[in-house]
Amino acid sequence: MKIVFVGPTLPDAAEQTGNGTNIIIAPPAKQGDVMDAVSAGATVIGIVDGYFEYVAPVWHKEILYALSCGCTVLGAASMGALRACECAAFGMKGIGRIFEDYQEGLRFDDGDVALLHGPAELNYPPLTIPLVNIDATLGKALERSFIDEHERDALASASRALFFKERTWKRIAQASSFSMDRIREMLTDCSVDQKREDALMLIQELQLCEDDRRAPPEWTFHTTPTWRRLYGEI
């Protein structure tokens, strides 16, 4: 059984996996969801989106537990990219540009992937823009000479000064003295949804993974109280 936790980054994930696959599309991960997936028989687990702030986020220990059980665990785009960086040394596989930026130290702030969005019932409509998408868009606009380096830096600085719940192109335009007409023109030709692109890469990798569990890794030693509780030994 393969499962991917995804929401606002790729709201059409079910369509992207194709018909007749054995991939289960689950809502953004929260603490305990990966443990439940392992208990349910998951062999491959993909993490794209995850809850935070008002809900306990997916726990590093449960990812390590999944890896210790021989599950393949992939992460990309959002919470998945963050956890993949933190758990890469234990075998979690990160995918995509956003993961690489964190892994290489080009990004440090978890808030770079955060956005405000509507509920699942409305298919997670985005209400703000994640910084990783803004940076990718500005990079493309610079490559196409739509903006120069000074303008890129001004827009990037304005976007970073905003809290993720307030980060919209309108607010960025106001803070950087750009007109919204010019912003709209830039977005028409240069808009990049980097989170979506990375999530699609994860889906492709998930489809290629063998639907079985591997031999447990060598580092699996159930000696700490946490591990023993996870395995029901105490």
pLDDT in tens, 107-149: 999 999 999 999 989 989 999 999 999 999 999 999 999 999 9
pLDDT of amino acid 177: 84
Q: Worst-scoring range by mean pLDDT, 68-77, 142-151, 199-208, 210-219?
A: 210-219
pLDDT of amino acid 174: 92
pLDDT of amino acid 218: 75
Indicate whether 225 pLDDT > 80. no
Indicate whether 76 pLDDT > 90. yes
Indicate whether 41 pLDDT > 80. yes
pLDDT of amino acid 13: 87
For residues 139 and 221, which has the higher predicted lDDT (pLDDT)? Answer: 139
Q: pTM, whole model, 2 decimals? A: 0.90
pLDDT of amino acid 189: 93
CA distance 182 to 215: 55
Indicate whether 220 pLDDT > 80. no
pLDDT of amino acid 22: 81
pLDDT of amino acid 197: 97
Mean pLDDT, range 74-94, rounded to an integer: 96
pLDDT of amino acid 215: 80
